[in-house]
């Protein structure tokens, strides 16, 4: 079970490594070294986004390891995302080129629409009015998607996909008349506490893979600052017991569960030892019974629910705590 990281196959014939490094909330002063450490530990998949405000620092790490001969560009799988303020069709390519400039790359392997909802056109990450309210836009994600498709022909991206889309939104996009390109993946929150079975099954049945963000929960999420006794995946006694059984940590067990479900997992860390630990999950395999035990830990707990975003016709999560698997709001 040891060796190279396995791939997840896309509907366009390309593929993506099933383990990647997430870079959300990775500090500018640390993320460059984190990327270098990850490449040295065997990572080839890096998940970025314009709104993380650290693409330039991620790019420094990537290019340092290309320039010193550790890897070639074609060995790497780089993902970035189209943010909510760049959804007007005329801004889509401009936004991608800005990300490419910051990353120091001529193309990315995967470009994702970050959310189905949009903010008012702006160069700010989160434009607000005088009262502090987020300025939303009604632009249709289908129109944005159509503007993403030509990026493939221009060679700026290899594949395109979406993120944070619920089941109904995925269904609507896939049924769009004139759709030229099917999303290759839907990047959503998935962990033993949010198994997202319904949405995962729906996507896989239609040839859309799943990229699992926050696969260990999201302990440093700002939304947790006022939450007492917050549920942390790595502290779960069942996962810890399974870790002892396999000689692994609870985190490694949770990540192994993720890749055995044929999803791609992108744990975030800037600590070299933790980065290395998170990829050391290829030398064991969970039994079918243990996979079921972990799946039964589901509590529909969503760590990333966009609580700062007003309820909007394209908000992907429901209003009852925003922890359900998919929105009950029709689109």
Per-residue pLDDT band at 123 (split at 50, 70, 90): confident
Q: Which of 13-27, 84-98, 279-293, 303-317 has the lowest mean pLDDT?
A: 303-317
Over residues 183-237, the pLDDT tens digits come to 999 999 999 999 999 999 999 999 999 999 999 987 555 554 445 556 789 999 9
Comparing C-alpha atoms, which of 94, 147, 138 is closest to residue 116? Answer: 138
In the chain the domains, ranked by start, together with CATH numbers, are 7-295 (3.20.20.100)
Query: pTM of the entire structure?
Result: 0.93
Provide the annotated active-site residues: 52
Tokens of 225: 């600052």
Which conformational region is residue 270 in: left (phi greater than 0), alpha (psi within -120 to 50 degrees), or beta?
alpha
How many angstroms separate the CA atoms of 259 and 1, rounded? 13
Please return the burial class of 124, using the count of CB atoms within 10 Å of its CB with bins 0-12, 13-18 and 19+: exposed
Radius of gyration of the chain (CA): 19
Q: Phi, psi at residue 280, to the nearest 5°?
A: -85, 60
Per-residue pLDDT band at 325 (split at 50, 70, 90): very low
- The per-residue DSSP string of 165-219 comes to --HHHHHHHHT-TT--S--SEEEEE-BTTB--HHHHHHHHHTT-EEEEESBTB-T
Comparing C-alpha atoms, which of 237, 235, 251, 225 is closest to residue 307? Answer: 225
Say if residue 99's pLDDT is above 70.
yes
Over residues 264-279, the pLDDT tens digits come to 999 999 999 999 999 9
- The per-residue DSSP string of 247-291 comes to TS-HHHHHHHHHHHTT-EE--B---HHHHHHHH--SS----HHHH
Q: Are 212 and 191 in contact (CB under 8 A)?
A: yes
Comparing C-alpha atoms, which of 251, 252, 258 is closest to residue 209? Answer: 258
How many angstroms separate the CA atoms of 33 and 311, rounded? 38
CB neighbours of 301 closer than 8 A, spacing ≥ 6? Answer: 193, 194, 217, 231, 323
Helix, strand, coil shares, percent, the chain, to 5:
35, 15, 45
Q: Could you tell me whether strands 264-265 and 209-213 are parallel, antiparallel, or unpaired per DSSP bridges?
A: parallel
DSSP state, 14? Answer: -
CB neighbours of 203 closer than 8 A, spacing ≥ 6? Answer: 170, 186, 209, 210
Over residues 41-56, the pLDDT tens digits come to 999 999 999 999 999 9
């Amino acid at each position: 079970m040891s060796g190279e990281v396995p791939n997840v196959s896309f509907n366009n014939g390309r593929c993506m490594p099933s383990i990647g490094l997430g870079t959300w909330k990775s500090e500018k002063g640390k993320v460059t070294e984190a990327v270098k450490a990850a490449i040295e530990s065997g990572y080839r998949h890096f998940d970025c986004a314009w709104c993380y405000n650290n693409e330039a620092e991620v790019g420094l790490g990537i290019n340092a390891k290309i320039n010193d001969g550790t890897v070639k560009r074609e060995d790497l799988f780089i993902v970035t995302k189209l943010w909510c303020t760049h959804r007007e069709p005329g801004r889509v390519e401009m936004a991608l080129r800005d990300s490419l400039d910051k990353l120091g790359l001529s193309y990315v392997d995967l470009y994702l629409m970050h959310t189905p909802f949009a903010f008012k056109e702006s160069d700010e990450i989160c434009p607000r009015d005088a009262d502090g309210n987020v300025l939303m836009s009604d632009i249709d994600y289908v129109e944005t998607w159509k503007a993403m498709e030509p990026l493939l022909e221009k060679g700026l991206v290899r594949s395109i996909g979406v993120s944070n889309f619920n089941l109904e939104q995925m269904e609507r996009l896939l049924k769009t008349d004139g759709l030229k390109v099917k999303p290759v993946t839907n990047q959503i929150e998935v962990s033993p506490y949010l198994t997202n079975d319904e949405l995962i099954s729906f996507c896989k049945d239609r040839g859309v893979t799943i990229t699992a963000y926050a696969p260990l929960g999201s302990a440093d999420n700002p939304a947790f600052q006022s939450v007492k006794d917050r549920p942390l995946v790595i502290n779960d006694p069942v996962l810890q017991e399974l870790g002892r059984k396999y000689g692994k940590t609870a985190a490694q067990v949770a990540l192994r569960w993720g890749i055995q479900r044929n999803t791609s997992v992108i744990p975030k860390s800037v600590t070299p030892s933790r980065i290395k630990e998170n990829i050391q999950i290829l030398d064991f395999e969970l039994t079918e019974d243990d996979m079921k035990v972990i799946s039964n830990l589901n509590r529909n707990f969503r760590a990333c629910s966009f609580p700062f975003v007003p309820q909007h016709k394209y908000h992907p999560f429901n209003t009852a705590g925003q922890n359900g698997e998919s929105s009950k709001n029709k689109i």
